[in-house]
Amino acid sequence: MNLNITGHHVEVTPAIHDYVTSKLDRVIRHFDHVTSVHVILSVEKLKQKAEITLHVKGKDIHADSTGTDLYASIDAMTDKLDRQVVRHKERVTDHTHDKRGEVEQE
């Protein structure tokens, strides 16, 4: 997995990098077919914004969050992303086939 963390008007410190990485580990644990992740952290006046784009086979999943605290924005963003990844995994693994081909025994 290729992880890229970018900061716009904010320096990406090792503490922020480790925090984002630890939060993404929870998401990756649900779905391990992730090819790359791009995180953008930005600050505009009093708004702290965190955006993420997760590249999986055949789809890009995007989530973002805005708040007054950067760490809270990262938490909210990863929660949104986690829900989207779980839903995507359910769609991919849900192979409901028609039962007409099976012989019923009575």
Q: What is residue 95's predicted lDDT score, i.e. its pLDDT?
A: 67
Q: C-alpha angle 49/60/41, rounded to 5°?
A: 20
Q: What is residue 100's predicted lDDT score, i.e. its pLDDT?
A: 55
What are the pLDDT tens digits along the chain (106 aa)? 789 999 999 999 999 999 999 999 888 887 778 889 999 999 998 999 999 999 988 889 999 999 999 999 999 999 999 999 989 888 888 766 655 555 555 5
Whether residue 40 contacts residue 51, with contact meaning beta carbons closer than 8 Å, is answered with: yes
Separation between Cα atoms, residue 11 and residue 66, nearest integer Å:
17
Q: Give the global pTM.
A: 0.81
Going by C-beta distance under 8 Å and a sequence separation of 6 or more, which residues neighbour residue 31? 56, 85, 86, 88, 89
Q: What is residue 15's predicted lDDT score, i.e. its pLDDT?
A: 95
Q: What is residue 26's predicted lDDT score, i.e. its pLDDT?
A: 86
Task: Walk me through the domains of the chain, giving residue ranges and CATH numbers.
Answer: 2-77 (3.30.160.100)
